[in-house]
Amino acid sequence: MKSGRILVVDDDKSLCETLAAALGKRGFDVEWRTDPAAAYEVAVRDGFEAVVTDLRMGQASGLDLCARIVGEVPDLPVVLITAFGTLDTAIAAIRAGAYDFITKPIEIEALAVALERAVERRRLRKEVHELRRAVGRMAGRFGKMLGSSDAMRPVYDVLERIADSPATVLVTGESGTGKEVVARALHDTGPRKAKPFVAINCSAVPEALLESELFGHARGAFTDARAPRTGLMLQANGGTLLLDEIGDMPMPLQAKLLRALQERTVRPVGGDAEVPFDVRVVATTNRDLRALIDDARFREDLYFRINVIHIELPPLRARGGDVLVLAQHFIDLHAARAGKTVTGLTPPAAERLLAYPWPGNVRELQNCIERAIALTRHPEIQVEDLPETVRSFKRSHVLVAASDPSELVPLAEVERRYVLRVVEAAGGNKSLAAQILGITRKTLYRKLEEYGQPIEDDS
């Protein structure tokens, strides 16, 4: 792709030809019209990225043409050329919706710079709109779960099949990957959604209180037990119980939990009667339960009881372009909360987000965006708005092997794999991928054709 597809409008044919030739040498793809009416028709339908029009063209007005174009295609920037660089002209141009205006005699370099900025602005707006549409499309059955990467497809597939099932689910994954979001999605899409969703973090409650929290207690069961208390397992009756970080549950309590899950009854601490309950259990952990079993720190029989259905959440670094979709979701969320007009990311900022490995996963990304929203003074998040760890991160190496890191391949194969990896990480957005790679879109398209990849113009 060239620097942008431009429409030049002027009733002076020779000026149109001169501008087309000069801008063409600077990488623009230029067409021109001498009739403002004809120019309007092609401007609103033929996919131009910017329009350059003279202010006065015989009986026609460039201001009127500008206003009509902007009214029909609001994101198409119009640059006005005028011999009258007065304040009144500038005000009239702004009111007509012009992106910029250039005074005569025309300096081609100044016009080219204005058009490059206009085209970049339009492409950025399109990328923001695409991300917003992607967020809207993904906010479907599974609520706050966003992303369409290959790494997430198995997760969605399992969720679709078990949403209506009462089976116990074990959700594993690194800290911050969204395990509780999965649990809530299961509850909200299943037949128990009208009943309670109750969660307890097994690592956050002191061991002495955890049994009472789960099972409840009778009056006088221990000091300060002045009144009976219903445990969370009964509070969740008919709904869903989330046992968060179950790998940190003390061993003595694991045996009591196992019995409760097997019998589907619970005996409050200090109580005599068994009380039946009906809950769907979702357990989560960021720990290796098998290793804990080998170390005699987790009961194997409880592991089999909770591991009826297993969902492994991928880390954010394995989810490619999902990073930008999630970032856009958090931008919309935190900009609204902060009362700020922030619409998206600049391409360099997006590049940093894609390059960073996100050891804290989705939680770290959300904190990063919330911070950037608080700090930015711009309508798009800039590189300088990001945390230092994200701004300064540089990969120490590139994995070029397909499955064996020691595999040696030709340089052309290294390039092919890296180009395809960047396109995937950019969610298929060729404009963003080309910027990350430091090449033009035309060069990227040529390479993709060489690799036998399908080409879809996202301009």
- Statement to judge: residues 235 and 308 lie in one domain: yes
Mark whether 282 and 358 lie in a shared domain: no
Residue 195 tokens, joined: 């009943």
What is the C-alpha to C-alpha distance for residues 424 and 323, in angstroms, rounded to an integer?
11
CA-wise closest residue to 277 among 200, 210, 196, 212: 196
Query: Are 381 and 403 part of one and the same domain?
Result: no
* Residue 229 placed within a domain: yes
Q: Return d(Cα 80, Cα 198) in angstroms, integer.
A: 61
Write down the pLDDT at residue 432. Answer: 74
CA distance 235 to 239: 9
Output the domain CATH number for residue 211: 3.40.50.300
Q: Which two tokens stand for residue 79?
A: 């640059």
How far apart CA 341 and CA 336 sit, in angstroms, is 8
Q: Closest by alpha carbon to 323, among 272, 276, 358?
A: 358
185 sits in which H/E element: helix 179-189
- For residue 443, the domain's CATH number is 1.10.10.60
146 within domain boundaries: no
Q: Is 167 exposed, middle or buried (0-12, 13-18, 19+ CB in 10 A)?
A: exposed
Q: For residues 383 and 414, state if they share a domain.
A: no
Q: Is residue 145 part of a domain?
A: no
Q: Please, are residues 279 and 240 in contact by the beta-carbon 8 Å criterion?
A: yes
Residue 142 lies in a domain: no
Question: 296 and 227 share a domain?
Answer: yes
164 and 292 together in one domain? yes
Shared domain for 54 and 100, answered yes or no, is: yes
Positive or negative torsion for Cα 84, 85, 91, 94? positive
Q: Please state at what angle helix 13-25 crosses helix 108-138, rounded to 10 degrees.
A: 70
Going residue by residue through the chain, which has 459 residues, state the pLDDT in tens, using 9 for 90 and above.
457 899 999 988 999 999 999 999 988 999 999 988 899 999 888 889 999 998 888 777 888 889 989 888 888 899 988 877 667 777 787 788 888 888 888 888 888 988 988 888 788 767 666 665 655 555 455 667 888 788 888 898 899 899 889 999 999 999 999 999 999 999 998 899 999 999 999 998 888 789 888 998 787 666 676 778 888 999 999 999 999 999 999 999 999 999 999 999 988 887 778 899 999 999 999 999 998 999 899 999 999 999 999 999 999 988 888 898 899 889 999 999 999 999 888 878 888 898 898 999 999 999 999 999 999 999 999 999 999 999 988 754 444 444 444 345 567 777 887 888 888 777 677 877 787 788 888 888 888 888 777 766 554
How many domains does the chain contain in total? 4
How long a stretch of residues is the chain?
459
What tokens does 196 get? 């309670």
Domain match, 295 and 348 both:
no
Closest CA to 235 of 200, 259, 272: 200
Query: 3-class SS at 5?
Result: strand
Same domain, 274 and 391: no
Query: Could you say which of 395, 417, 435 is where a domain stops?
Result: 395
What is the model's pLDDT at position 142?
66
What SS3 class is residue 258?
Answer: helix
pLDDT of residue 399: 43
Is residue 410 included in any domain, yes or no? yes
- Domain end point (choices 395, 419, 441): 395
Nearest CA-CA partner of 9 in 65, 49, 85? 65
**Nearest alpha-carbon partner for 320 in 159, 150, 446:** 150
Q: Give Cα 447 to chain centroid, integer Å.
A: 27
Q: What pLDDT score does 409 carry?
A: 57
Pair 233, 279: CB distance under 8 Å: yes
Is the domain of 356 the same as that of 446? no
Report whether the peptide linkage leading into residue 405 is cis, meaning its omega lies within 30 degrees of zero: no
User: Both tokens of residue 12?
Assistant: 């002076």
Say whether both 284 and 243 belong to one domain. yes
> Is the Cα torsion angle 63, 64, 68, 69 positive or negative in sign?
negative
Q: What is the DSSP letter of 313?
A: P
Dihedrals phi, psi of 295, to nearest 5 degrees: -90, 10
Q: Is residue 282 domain-resident?
A: yes
C-alpha dihedral, 133 to 136 to 141 to 146, nearest 10° = 80
Domain extent at residue 93: 4-135
**Residue 170 domain flag:** yes
Q: Is 269 in the same domain as 255?
A: yes
Whole-model pTM? 0.61
Choosing from 341, 360, 395, the residue where a domain stops is 395
Q: What's residue 45's pLDDT?
A: 85
